[in-house]
Amino acid sequence: MPIVRIEMWEGRTLEQKRELVAVYTREMARITGCSETSVYVVIDDVKKQNWGAGGLLCSDKYPENN
């Protein structure tokens, strides 16, 4: 009964989230033997101004690409 939590930059499409949830659930069940039904996946869309890497806000470091 695993819980998977994903933090990533906001801006991913619904289709990308749908595929992430499907694949991560399927692979978790395949690798660990749990049932797919028991897997929860929670996605946290993080603004680039709320993510720091190497000491810089990503909104400063990567102003354009997503």
Q: Give the footprint of its own copies on this chain (CB under 8 A).
A: 1-9, 12, 14, 16-28, 31-32, 34, 36-46, 49-60
Q: How far is the CB of 38 from its own copies (least distance, A)?
A: 8
Q: What are the Cα distances from residue 43, in Å, to 11, 12, 25, 54?
A: 12, 10, 13, 23
Q: Using CA atoms, how far apart are residues 36 and 26, in angstroms rounded to an integer?
A: 6
63 is catalytic: no
Q: For residues 44 and 64, which CB has a smaller minimum distance to its own copies in the complex?
A: 44
In the complex, the smallest distance separating the C-beta of residue 11 from its own copies, rounded to whole angstroms, is 9
